[in-house]
Each structure stands twice: as structure tokens, then as C-alpha cells.
Amino acid sequence: MFKKILPLNSILFLRFLGLFLVLPLIALYAQSLEGSTPLLIGIVIGGYALTQALFQVPFGTLSDKFGRKWLIIFGLALFLVGSVISYIATDIYTLIFGRLLQGAGAVGSVISATITDLVEEERRAKAMAIVGGSIAMAFALAMVLGSTVGAYYGVDTLFLVTSILALLSILIAFKIPQSAKIEFIYQKGEESRSIFKDRTILYLLFSSLLQKGIMSIIFMLIPILLVSSGEWSREELWQLYTPAMVLGLLSMGPAVIFGEKRNDPKKIFMLSSTLFIVTSILISIGSLTAVTSALFIFFVAFNLIEPLIQSMVSKLVKVSEKGRALGYTNSFAYFGTFIGGTGAGLFLQVGEISTLGYILTALSIFWLVWTISIENPVKKDTLYMALSETLETQLRTEKYQFIDEWYINRTEKLIVVKFDSEEYLKEDIEEILKEWSSK
């Protein structure tokens, strides 16, 4: 499994390392540029997420129809051009344009869909956790490098580093293995099913929006609060970010165990939304101790659900919808990032940080209440049967009650059958399918 996802994992690591490098200091850097205002600073922080949000679904949908690899390369090329423009920017508006172009390379959903193409469903949570861990490592490394390199050599140098990382990602993208050739099998009327009719998916989409929105606000407020306190300089912020990120990374393990293996993600989401409430209250208090504590609690809250959202979405939709569904998931996440950064910047032009903390608290309470109302998803299992003409004919003949979905993997010569593992035993279904194969 690890070998299959290594190129994709490497691309995500380098891409997010480039994006995260500027986070610790970009708010302070944008303040120094010509034409800077709180609103424009917020757009610099979250602007790339707007174009990410707009292009996630088109990229994901096109990848379902035309394949993943070349769309990934094209998206990375856009990210490279945007990074170069951000590097040469000397005013706030050029920087905003570069950040918007960085975001136009919206390959997140395509990479996620490619991983789900290459990894069996029962191992997908582990694959997503590995990817999530790599992103978290990129984040931790970016906090150290971004804070130190940016402080001593300038944030513009960080955009140069990001350009180099983007170029390396494009070279690695040529090593991505081709996804399996899948033949989708539809029952009558199922081709046009709307994913927004699924209550759990809708909750996951808005959870992604709220999670990333709060992240964007946190990374606007905390650096400013810490530096303005006089106790921390921009060169020293990595000393806080790194241990906070390590703590968040460690929280991913229990999240995967309870959320995926024990099929009880509701408890993880309840814990995460509760911790977001605590984070927001501490931001409202505004003291140095409160803000420092908020930073550590935020990273745990964020990383608890980070490996769960996309994995859960990919399991709740049909295989033919993965690219589109993950496109929506990433779009909601990036809309959250944009709204969080831009909204915080706009609000700070007319309001106080403490009031923004109260608004975050209210949103987090709403999130917790919504979480309490949802149910854990039905646990499904997957059978992989050798491709057989008799089995294929039998499955095509009529819709069987115990089968939720089935499709043919022509590349690996497999028939893949998904079923409700809480209602049916795997051994019983396997015996029936073997009987059909031998006819």
C-alpha cells in the first residue's frame, strides 16, 4: 500500500509544505506591503482558498471522466506559476493575485480520489492517516522553517522555496501509477443521485468548512496576539508551533482507532467540536496564557478529525462519484479557509478580537449540537472476487438485496462487491458469489 501512494504522498507533502511555510508570518508580512489593510491581509491569508474552492469540483469531476494523472500535473503547474508571482510581488494586490493563482491548481480532490482508486477500501483509513500524518509533518517542518527562514531572509524567500517545491512535485507527478480501469454498474435511476441528499455527507461537508474556517482565523489572530504581547518575537514562534503540532499529530492515532476501526466517528467529532469551543473561549479571553493554551488545544481539535472526513466521504458515495464528492469536500474546506481569513480581516476593521472569539464560540457550539444529532454511518465491507463471466452475468441479471454496490476492475480482473457488514456475514455472501462463479 505505502509503495502505491508514495508519489501522491510526496506531492501532498511538498505542496502543503510550500503552502504552510508562509503561514506563521504572512499576516505580519502582508502588513508591511504597500496598500495593506486588515481586509486585504485576510484575503492574502485565505485568498488562495477561494480559487481552490471554485476549482475542486471541476478538477474532481473531470478526473472521473478523463483520468487523474494529467490533471494533477496541470494543477501543480498553476501552483508553480502562482508561487513565482507571489515571490516577485512588491505590493499587496500582486501578492493577492499570486495567492489566487496558487489556489487555482486545485488538485487536492484528484489526489484523494487517486489514493482511493489505488488502495482497497478496508485499508483506506490507514492510507488517509499516513497522508494526514505527512501533511502534519509538513506543517510542523513549515512552522520551524517558515518562522526562522522568513524572519531572517524575508517571507518573499519562502515563496521562492515554494516555487522549487512545486517544480519537484511536477517531476514526481510523472511517477504516479495509472488508476485501475473501472467499469461502473448502475441500477436504474442511480446515475443522477445527489450526494447532498445524504445527511451524513452534508454534515461532513460543513464540518470541513468549519474546521478550515477556524484554522484560517486562528492563523490570523494568534501570531498577531503573541507578537503584540511583547513576550514573543516572530523568530521565536516556531518554539510554540512545533510542540503544538506534534501534540496534534499524536492525536491522529486514537482518532483513526475510534473513528474507523471501531466505526464510532461521532465521539471523535464531539470531542473535536468541544475542543474548538474551548479554543474560541480562550481566544476571547486574550491573555498570553490563554492564547498559548488555545494554540495547543486547537491543533488537537483540528487533527482529531483531519484523517476522518475524506475517508468517510469516500466510503459513503459510489465509486463513480468519488472524484466529485471529494471535490465538494475540498471545496467546502477551502471556502471555509477563505471565509475565515477574509471574514476575520473584515471584522477586525470594525470590531475587537474578543468579539470575534465570541462568534467562534457560537459557531463551535452549533457544530457540537449538530454532531450530537447525527448517527454513525452503517459499517460496510468489501469482497474482491476473480472476474468471472458467469458471476458478472448473474450480477447483471437483477438487483440483489444484500448488495449495496458492485463494479468491475478490468485492470486487475476483479469484481468488487460492497455490502452491509452489520446485517450480512462476509462468509455467507462469499459462498453465494462462489456458487455463481462456478455455474
Q: Cα separation of 32 and 18, whole Å?
A: 21
For 139, the grid coordinates are 506543517
- Got the DSSP string for 276-308? HHHHHHHHHH--HHHHHHHHHHHHHHHHHHTTT
Angle in degrees, 0-180, between the axes of helices 124-153 and 23-31, rounded to the nearest 10: 40
What is the pLDDT tens value at each position of the chain, 439 positions in all? 667 788 888 998 998 888 888 877 787 788 788 888 888 888 887 778 788 888 877 887 787 777 788 888 999 999 999 999 999 988 899 999 999 999 888 787 788 778 777 776 556 656 766 776 677 678 778 877 887 888 788 888 899 999 999 999 999 988 887 665 566 554 444 544 567 778 888 999 999 999 988 888 887 788 888 888 888 887 777 788 778 878 887 887 787 777 767 778 888 999 999 999 999 999 999 899 999 999 999 989 988 887 788 777 877 777 667 667 777 887 888 888 888 888 888 888 787 888 888 989 999 999 999 999 888 877 777 888 888 888 877 787 766 777 877 888 777 778 888 887 777 888 888 888 888 777 6
For 81, the grid coordinates are 506559476
pLDDT > 90 in the chain, percent: 20
pLDDT score recorded for residue 186: 47
Cut 0.75: pTM above it: no
Strand order in the sheet with 405-409: 182-184, 405-409, 414-420, 380-386
pLDDT score recorded for residue 167: 95
Structural domains present in the chain: 2-373 (1.20.1250.20), 380-438 (3.30.70)
